[in-house]
Structure 1
């Protein structure tokens, strides 16, 4: 079951608010952020010439419009992700059927980036079916509903709860959802950490796992039985539990595992701040470690300043090492047999 926040929902994407950037009366065009997807239709591919795509988009928007980012799909086909706030431009882009070089294309709302999830609770609709609720909430941009259930300890069966996970079309989560005249506040939805069920590491799924080896979730070792779907269903591992993420004596899917807890907190940072997984992980690690890379650099500079030691990577604690005077008798050009000294900051005794 996915967890949810008790706090207010946030509307951020890459750390930037997705809501209207200015009041409607001041700027009727720059509204909510919309994310579109441009791709070729059928067996066609987009042209390698990037100017063909840019001129097509700028022809219906603005000559200075530049927020279209190329990317590759799972089949390595080129496509473009378009970020735009002007509703007139959105409507114009959705109507494009071909590029200026006649390549057939389609522009649609992005299937994943242009939708958000939130959590809402309303006891008055606990007995209503999800399909009925979806029809009633369609005018509030709700495109999918999932009711959270819980296990009844006495009857040993799932019972519905008043909590719903809503999928909203667009990048902005409404502050409230109206169930008739009942206004229910929304809050953030936090998905479970992404964990591979092949190698049981975090950050990717089994479909994109590079190891291609099915490990046991209990002991972390490969078993021949796990390579076959039929034998894997009834396989029970009796080996001692071992976690591949923290080396603890518990299964790799244990939710009390320190690695799982950390990944869950990183997910909350990612959702709350509307940033990427990489940025959220860096932010969380900085918070946990109590220092950032910049502070580490400053700490090193202070150490060099106080000790004068910049020649080694040791944790030297001897302040201001006494320089050693070495006497060298080496001839110098035009001054034969002249004795001179070299001063070093070597801390050898």
Structure 2
């Protein structure tokens, strides 16, 4: 559905407007003892379309309790009025993360401008967040020309107008979320009940700052690198999953399934090529 604000507020840049594909909306059971699994799929489709027109996609989450509909033809605000599916009470709300996007832009001309001022100037283009990307040199943080911009839309424009400059954008791929206590992926240290582990050897109960033990990765069990190394295949898989998630505008769980399927396909192709070479030599 056309977003109410956000991307519709973008000015014309080089005669083009970013593509509008709509909002991501969640429909959830409002009854603790019942879920949408019990409701007819045909009834769901018919009811949702009566509120917002044609729906191109409705997906269930892995718990089989929530449905997400996106790219609908009418206003998200209209769909939020839905209160019942048949006899089941439901609540409807916009997805917490899929309705915004983040991009990175380089702009040396704005390197000395405060982030708050840049955010104010870009507000009319749907900007809701600006963060300066820093780098560490000789132990000190230094400014870079790169800005991380959060946009109130699922779809990123190809350029952003900063003052008089049309700046090209590229997707922002966040680093994999890793706990600094147990060194595993998918959560942060604040809520981790595990003991502190050494990033170098993966063991506990010693001063990790003075660790001289051989490196060992807690995630892949390799003795060729530490747990913080980007050589770790688990880190590489997490990074690939995040890229799929951002590029396809899907949840992390959906991206994980796609990444696993891609790895299985690549492994099968590699094995097939290796076997073909072996048979040809023989």
* TM-score in terms of structure 1 length: 0.57
Task: Tell me by how many angstroms 1:266 deviates.
Answer: 2.3
What CA distance in whole angstroms lies between the structure 1 residues aligned with 2:228 and 2:33?
A: 43
RMSD across aligned positions (CA) = 4.2
Task: Tell me by how many angstroms 1:149 deviates.
Answer: 1.3
- Give the aligned length: 253
What CA distance in whole angstroms lies between the structure 1 residues aligned with 2:31 and 2:166?
A: 44
Q: If each structure's helix is expressed as a fraction of its own residues, which one has the higher value?
A: 2
* Counterpart for residue 259 of structure 2: 280
* Counterpart for residue 70 of structure 2: 83
Do the aligned partners of 1:191 and 1:267 also contact (CA within 8 Å) in 2? no
Residue 252 in 1 paired to residue 227 in 2? yes
What CA distance in whole angstroms lies between the structure 2 residues aligned with 1:89 and 1:298?
A: 54
- Among 185, 190, 201, which residue is 1:219 paired with? 201
Do the aligned partners of 1:46 and 1:103 also contact (CA within 8 Å) in 2? no
* Counterpart for residue 71 of structure 1: 61
Task: Tell me by how many angstroms 1:58 deviates.
Answer: 2.8
What CA distance in whole angstroms lies between the structure 1 residues aligned with 2:104 and 2:229?
A: 25
SS in 1 for 2:222: coil
What CA distance in whole angstroms lies between the structure 2 residues aligned with 1:56 and 1:139?
A: 35
Change (3 A) 1:81 1:298: farther
What CA distance in whole angstroms lies between the structure 2 residues aligned with 1:66 and 1:184?
A: 33
Q: For each residue in 1:163-221, what CA deviation from the matched residue of structure 2 results, as whole angstroms up to 9, or x when unmatched? A: 1111222221100001122110001222223444454345x3358x9995654322112
SS in 1 for 2:96: coil
- Among 168, 172, 176, which residue is 2:155 paired with? 172
SS in 2 for 1:283: helix
- Among 186, 189, 200, which residue is 2:183 paired with? 200
SS in 1 for 2:146: strand
Residue 238 in 1 paired to residue 228 in 2? no
Task: Tell me by how many angstroms 1:41 deviates.
Answer: 6.4
Of the structure 1 ranges 129-138 and 257-266, higher mean CA displacement relative to structure 2 is found in 257-266
What CA distance in whole angstroms lies between the structure 1 residues aligned with 2:208 and 2:183?
A: 17
Q: For each residue in 1:16-72, what CA deviation from the matched residue of structure 2 results, as whole angstroms up to 9, or x when unmatched? A: xxxxxxxxxxxxxx941431123356989756632465454232134x747222336
What CA distance in whole angstroms lies between the structure 1 residues aligned with 2:46 and 2:65?
A: 17
SS in 1 for 2:236: helix
* Counterpart for residue 13 of structure 2: none
* TM-score in terms of structure 2 length: 0.68
Residue 107 in 1 paired to residue 107 in 2? no
Gaps of 5+ in 2: 1-18
- Among 254, 269, 281, which residue is 1:291 paired with? 269
Task: Tell me by how many angstroms 1:119 deviates.
Answer: 0.6
* Counterpart for residue 50 of structure 2: 59
What CA distance in whole angstroms lies between the structure 1 residues aligned with 2:262 and 2:165?
A: 38
Q: For each residue in 1:283-304, what CA deviation from the matched residue of structure 2 results, as whole angstroms up to 9, or x when unmatched? A: 36766x69257x379859x96x
* Counterpart for residue 25 of structure 2: 36
Do the aligned partners of 1:188 and 1:271 also contact (CA within 8 Å) in 2? no
Change (3 A) 1:41 1:167: farther
What CA distance in whole angstroms lies between the structure 2 residues aligned with 1:181 and 1:55?
A: 48
- Among 136, 143, 151, which residue is 2:121 paired with? 136
Change (3 A) 1:249 1:172: same
Q: How does 1:114-193 map to 2 (within 5 A)?
A: 114-153=99-138, 156-193=139-176
What CA distance in whole angstroms lies between the structure 2 residues aligned with 1:53 and 1:190?
A: 34
Task: Tell me by how many angstroms 1:273 deviates.
Answer: 5.2
